Structure 1
Amino acid sequence: MDPVRRTLNVESVSIGLIENTTGDIIFVDELMGPLFKPLAPIRLKRGQGIAGWVAEHREAVIINDVYKDKRFYRQVDKKSGFQTHSMICIPLQVEERVIGILQAINKQTGKFNENDLRLLQAIGGPLAAAIENARLHADVIAEKRRIETIFANMSEGLLTINAEGYITHVNDAFLTLIYDETKEIIAQKATDIIRLKNGNIEEFIQTVKKATNEYPQLAADVYHNDGSTVPVLISGAPIRNEEGEVSELIMVFSDLSQIREVERMRDDFFHGIIHELRTPLATILMYARLLREGKAQEKEKADRFLGVIERESDRLQKMVRQMLQVVKMESQEFQRRPEPLSLNPIFEEMLPPLADIATEKGLTFIQRIEPDLPLVMGDREILYMAIKNLVDNAIKFTLSGSVRVEAAHKDNVVEIIVKDQGIGIPKQALPNLFGRFFRAQTAVERGIAGTGLGLYMVKEAIEHYNGTIKVDSIEGKGTTFTVCLPVAET
């Protein structure tokens, strides 16, 4: 602004721009002069000072003695040491909108007059337009970068197609749906790239082109380049130019694999629940009818019938308790504050009856529990449930051999190991093992009862108390679960 300063023969020229969010005027640091360099950016509230009045009233002013003007805001001079004596201040306008002010301060010879005002206004018009264009350009660049960042980091596959059907933009998420590695597909025909097993992409593109207010969707399986298919939900929307003609289409590909897997697990869960409930209920009903019909006159036979009813009732109760435990863990009740507790009493109460069950099954039950384990943080009922579930599973899935339970203080954790010589877990099942409703196919095929909730609850419980759980397994050889719970701070 030095040429303006020299032309007007003034000590200083400054620009204040209106902040869109607050309406405050913020002066451009670079134009304020050396006295203002150490200061924070000068900011005037809406309507504050002469500059604030000019911006609010959209009127230019000539003031040759600022100290006689009640609008003059003296704090700026006090903070900077600058002495303001006179000024011309004009609003910077773009059409009808005021974007800031331009002021010339301290006429070096004589007083400010109308000629000075007209000269400053002649400068202010183009200056306001230039500032607005720069702002718009910066906004466009920022918006472009924002959209590109969103585009690149979306988990959904996304691509755009021009009116002729050629791909103009694509993100990495889309490429991973159909290729193992990044591949250049820009400017290729969309119908050559997107191959559907059960759907017509050309028809869908035409439907999207004709869409007005709605956003067409298509559920289909898209082919990967290795020949496999991925279930997707394709959503499309047209982008129209000023004439209302479709210039581009934007298409979003949402991978439904996880949803399909959850649906499958849910279906397996409900199928398993129905099966598991039906068997004990049918048994209870049958033996209850036999008793009512007098088919067990002898005490020994009646006791045997009642024993079956009791055993199946216990089985039902256990299943219901497990499902209620899931509900509890996912509710606020699970969020109660943990307390320091000892695991030794839990093992002393839990392991003897489990050892009896293992022995009755013909298994060797080994326990190595270190005495006086340090305290851990948690809830007794929840940790009891988690550890018992692991040992229960070890016994259930071991047809012959041994089950071992160990607990020891290592470093700053209590390490619990549950190891069996059971049927093992298939390698492909390990990533989903702790998922809700998940059951390994080997367990299903062998007809081993279960709901698919046990290990889900175990993992949720252990991690809730900042612990870790890992599993190592070899199918046909056995499985080892290792739980680490942090020692409570004392």
Structure 2
Amino acid sequence: MMTYRKKLFFALITLIIVVLIALGILLGNLFKNSYVQAFNEQIQKETTFIAHYIQEHGGIHSFLDQNNTVDLKPLIDSNVTILTEEGDVLYDSNEEKIEHPNRHAQVLQQIVKAQGQEGYEVPEGKVDFHYYWQVIKTDDEIEGYIVHSSEISIIEQMNKQMWQILTISLGAALIIILMLGSMITKRYARPIEAATMTAIELAQGNYRARTSETYSAETKMLITSLNILARNLEEAQISREMHQDRLETLIENIGSGVIFIDSKSYITLINREYKRLFKVNPIHFMFRSYYEVIEFEEIISIIEEIFRTEQIIKRQMKLPLESESRHFEVYGAPIIGNHDEWNGILLIFHDITELKRLEQIRKDFVANVSHELKTPITSIKGFSETLLDGALHDEETLRSFLTIILEESDRLQVLIQELLNLSKMEQQVFVLNRQDVDLIQMLTDISMMLSTRLEEKQLTLDIVGPNQAFIEGDLSRIKQVFINLMSNAVNYTLTGGAIMVCVKEEEDTVIVEIQDNGIGIEPKELPRIFERFYRVDKARSRDSGGTGLGLAIVKHILEVHHGKVKVESTVGVGTTFTVTLYKKLHT
């Protein structure tokens, strides 16, 4: 591909050559015309001189009789012909009559027929042979004609010399002009070529392209402006890429599912959370119509309503997914451009399953607290009214009723105290009393505390582990954890069952497993057993005197100690609680 500089250079060469050739032709013609004009003037002067000379010697006949032609020849280097008025040739020294007699005679006849005082004649086909004639008068009467003819023999030689001079001159001028043209094109075309290449690179998206600013002052403004444009484009590109990256990062990492549907109903964007929630494969989901890939009628209905009304819609719904049903708050909005063009629809899926669960927990908590408080208060109120109605005088009834009132008051006090303790743990407003705790000794003490209940239900409780196992923690809090867990094991193990407590030491932790062969827990109940007031078997729990806060307290105490608790259970086989505590508390 020919560059701009080469095109400009060849165009300049062509123009110069054409101009020089035209100039050479023009100068050649001017020179030739000038020479011919001078030659004709000379012939005219010579002819006038001869005519006067003949007239001074008494006219044509006298001139010829005196043989004065011999004296005339040395004076002029040309051909002379003398004619009578009728056209008869009296004297002729013209060589043309020898080479071309017919053409010579024809020219002479044309002169006679002209009947003028003087004039020029040029034979047809003989442009370099000129005739000039003039009348000769004697006593104001036309006696004849003097015809002076001559060949411009030098004109061809002069023409050749002229063209040689012109060729040399114009050739030298051409070389000089070409050198100057090359310098000019190099000075002006090269920066333009560089600017063009830079512009092409910019058009192809390479905004790092630059042009050297070392060129002439005439193109400096162009080059500087182009480089400024390139820098601005690069900065704009970097800014756009940064905004694009931020937007992509935000969309990909937002905690809600995002889906974008264009104006033609094709899905063009889904983020990571949407793929995780709905288990979709982008290969089979992207760039397809929404009604082909979205299987939930509720979502399709929202999309169609937005297309129809062009209004923002926010709606809550419960969708059955593969593993479980989940609650979503779906926010849908039309995307309308600056010029009111329809660009598509944006849907955002907020997973509010956890919020719904917490709301249900709150409702259950309020109901359970109300029930747990109502039961002892109802008992206290009922027995108090009975006593006031007349049972005060029956000592046995009075003692029995007061004992029940005391037990219910103690139960109410324990419930309120545990609620206060749990509230403090959740708000992290209490301070741990750190000390070294021997878990083996503590578990042994708890087994002694539970010995009466173990004997009543004919249960065995074995503690397996090293002689000592120390951790750093709050003794009373840690003891409360294992009292609650071991008490639950006693309560939910059938008569004649067995409870095993295993203690294992690792490098940084101590693991305690409390295993029973009791009634077990349903799998669907396991995620909720650490909620406040949640009971697996409500009747059995109340019969055992529990408040329903034990496992919630266990969970929060272990969280404060940076420990963990997990549960494994099989219905009819038993349950195992595994507690992991660090030997040294992390600050």
Relative to the length of structure 2, the TM-score reads 0.55
Structure 2 partner of 1:259: 355
Confirm or deny that 1:218 pairs with 2:318.
Answer: no
Query: Equivalents in 1 of 2:496, 2:560: separation in Å?
Result: 33
Structure 1 partner of 2:472: 377
**Correspondence 1:46-445 to 2 at 5 A:** 122-179=222-279, 184-192=284-292, 193=294, 195-196=296-297, 200-202=301-303, 204-206=305-307, 209-211=310-312, 216-222=313-319, 224=321, 229-295=325-391, 297-334=393-430, 336=432, 338-343=434-439, 346-347=442-443, 350-360=446-456, 362-368=457-463, 373-402=468-497, 404=499, 406=501, 408=503, 410-412=505-507, 413-434=509-530, 436-437=531-532, 439=534, 442-444=536-538
Change (3 A) 1:259 1:451: farther
Change (3 A) 1:369 1:298: farther
Change (3 A) 1:453 1:161: farther
User: Given that residues 567 and 578 in structure 2 are in contact (C-alpha distance below 8 angstroms), is that contact kept between their aligned partners in structure 1?
Assistant: yes
> What displacement does 1:424 show?
0.7
Structure 1 partner of 2:27: none
Query: Equivalents in 1 of 2:299, 2:436: separation in Å?
Result: 57
Query: Equivalents in 1 of 2:326, 2:510: separation in Å?
Result: 43
Q: Number of residue pairs matched?
A: 371
Deviation digits for residues 119-177 of structure 1, max 9, x if unmatched?
65543322121012112212222332332233233332110112233322112432444
> What displacement does 1:253 show?
0.8
User: Given that residues 191 and 202 in structure 1 are in contact (C-alpha distance below 8 angstroms), is that contact kept between their aligned partners in structure 2?
Assistant: no
- Mean Cα deviation higher: 372-381 or 340-349: 340-349
> What displacement does 1:183 show?
5.8
Query: Equivalents in 1 of 2:308, 2:472: separation in Å?
Result: 58
Query: Equivalents in 1 of 2:389, 2:533: separation in Å?
Result: 42
Change (3 A) 1:246 1:437: farther
Change (3 A) 1:178 1:482: closer
> What displacement does 1:230 show?
3.4
User: Given that residues 401 and 422 in structure 1 are in contact (C-alpha distance below 8 angstroms), is that contact kept between their aligned partners in structure 2?
Assistant: no
User: Given that residues 287 and 305 in structure 1 are in contact (C-alpha distance below 8 angstroms), is that contact kept between their aligned partners in structure 2?
Assistant: yes
Secondary structure of residue in 2 paired with 1:200: helix
Structure 1 partner of 2:102: none
User: Given that residues 437 and 470 in structure 2 are in contact (C-alpha distance below 8 angstroms), is that contact kept between their aligned partners in structure 1?
Assistant: yes
> What displacement does 1:205 show?
1.8
Change (3 A) 1:395 1:363: same
User: Given that residues 437 and 451 in structure 1 are in contact (C-alpha distance below 8 angstroms), is that contact kept between their aligned partners in structure 2?
Assistant: no
User: Given that residues 157 and 252 in structure 1 are in contact (C-alpha distance below 8 angstroms), is that contact kept between their aligned partners in structure 2?
Assistant: yes
> What displacement does 1:198 show?
9.5
Query: Equivalents in 2 of 1:454, 1:180: separation in Å?
Result: 41
Query: Equivalents in 2 of 1:481, 1:228: separation in Å?
Result: 26
Change (3 A) 1:405 1:198: same
Change (3 A) 1:146 1:486: same
Query: Equivalents in 2 of 1:222, 1:196: separation in Å?
Result: 10
Secondary structure of residue in 2 paired with 1:184: helix
User: Given that residues 469 and 505 in structure 2 are in contact (C-alpha distance below 8 angstroms), is that contact kept between their aligned partners in structure 1?
Assistant: no
Bigger fraction of residues in helix: 2
Name structure 1 gaps, 5 residues minimum. 1-101, 108-114
Q: Quick one: which amino acid aligns to residue 414 of structure 1?
A: V
Change (3 A) 1:304 1:227: closer
Change (3 A) 1:273 1:181: farther
- Mean Cα deviation higher: 284-293 or 447-456: 447-456
- Mean Cα deviation higher: 241-250 or 179-188: 179-188
User: Given that residues 259 and 270 in structure 2 are in contact (C-alpha distance below 8 angstroms), is that contact kept between their aligned partners in structure 1?
Assistant: yes
Structure 2 partner of 1:95: none
User: Given that residues 426 and 556 in structure 2 are in contact (C-alpha distance below 8 angstroms), is that contact kept between their aligned partners in structure 1?
Assistant: no
Change (3 A) 1:353 1:223: closer
Name structure 2 gaps, 5 residues minimum. 1-209
- Mean Cα deviation higher: 404-413 or 469-478: 404-413
Query: Equivalents in 2 of 1:221, 1:464: separation in Å?
Result: 35
Q: Quick one: which amino acid aligns to residue 443 of structure 1?
A: D
Query: Equivalents in 2 of 1:199, 1:289: separation in Å?
Result: 62
Higher gyration radius (CA): 2
Relative to the length of structure 1, the TM-score reads 0.65
> What displacement does 1:387 show?
1.6
User: Given that residues 159 and 250 in structure 1 are in contact (C-alpha distance below 8 angstroms), is that contact kept between their aligned partners in structure 2?
Assistant: yes
